[in-house]
């Protein structure tokens, strides 16, 4: 599929825009996607999104009343207010420093406070196991071919050569 923007390169990014309840789907190449992304960043940046989301969050009450403390990351010195402005944390320690404030924000953005990762589909696992099996057989066949040639067992070597070609073809078909 070619890029909807330039019509020249292969589309690798698929973007869905919803404006005024109108859905527009774009298939873009990497270069056009970067341009589209920078255009979107000019109109509505990630910092704006995070700021809007974090403004809605509820802070736990401070004992004795009064304003919430202005916490900063002990490692990089970034304050939570700075994070809200730039939309990026300064270092890995910021997650611990701003844990209380980030937890509701992460839950709203990701649906959970802890990253669970993704598991490969069963069909992909099956393909990987099949590919590993072909690879192991291919290595063994190549080693046996070298031994057969050294021993001048040319009929055996021809059979192994054919087996190697077959296994290489199967691996190529499975994408490995």
DSSP secondary-structure letter at 7?
S
From first to last of its 176 residues, the chain has per-residue pLDDT tens of 888 888 888 988 877 766 666 777 878 888 887 777 645 444 445 555 555 555 544 444 444 444 444 678 999 999 888 888 887 888 988 888 888 888 887 777 767 766 666 666 666 656 666 667 777 888 899 999 999 999 999 999 999 999 989 888 877 776 65
Residue 78 · residue 94 · CB < 8 Å? yes
pLDDT score of 175: 64
Q: How would DSSP label each residue in 73-140?
A: -TTT--BHHHHHHHSS-SSTTHHHHTHHHHHHHHHHHHSSSS-------HHHHHHHHHHHHHHHHHHH
Residue 26 · residue 15 · CB < 8 Å? yes
Burial group, residue 167, by CB count within 10 angstroms (0-12, 13-18, 19+): buried
Bridge partners of 17, per DSSP, are 24
CA 150, CA 99: separation in Å to the nearest integer? 66
4 to each of 17, 26, 39, 82, how far by Cα in Å?
Answer: 14, 6, 16, 38
**Any residues with CB less than 8 A from the CB of 134 and at least 6 apart, and which?**
167, 170, 171, 174, 176
pTM: 0.34
**Any residues with CB less than 8 A from the CB of 111 and at least 6 apart, and which?**
none
């Amino acid at each position: 599929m070619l890029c909807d923007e330039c019509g020249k390169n292969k589309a690798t990014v698929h973007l869905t825009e919803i404006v005024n309840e109108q859905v527009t789907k774009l298939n873009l190449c990497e270069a056009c996607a970067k341009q589209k992304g920078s255009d979107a960043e000019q109109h509505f940046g990630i910092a704006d999104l995070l700021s809007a989301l974090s403004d809605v969050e509820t802070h736990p009450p401070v004992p004795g009343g009064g304003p919430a403390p202005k916490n900063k990351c002990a490692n990089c010195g970034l304050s939570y207010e700075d994070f809200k402005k730039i939309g990026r944390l300064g270092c890995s320690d910021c997650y611990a420093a701003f844990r209380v404030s980030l937890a509701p924000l992460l839950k709203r953005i990701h649906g959970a406070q802890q990253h669970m990762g993704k598991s490969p589909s069963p069909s992909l696992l099956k393909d990987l196991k099949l590919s590993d099996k072909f690879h192991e057989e291919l290595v063994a066949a190549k080693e046996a071919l070298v031994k057969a040639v050294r021993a001048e067992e040319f009929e055996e070597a021809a059979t192994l050569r054919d087996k190697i070609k077959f296994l290489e073809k199967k691996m190529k078909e499975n994408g490995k």
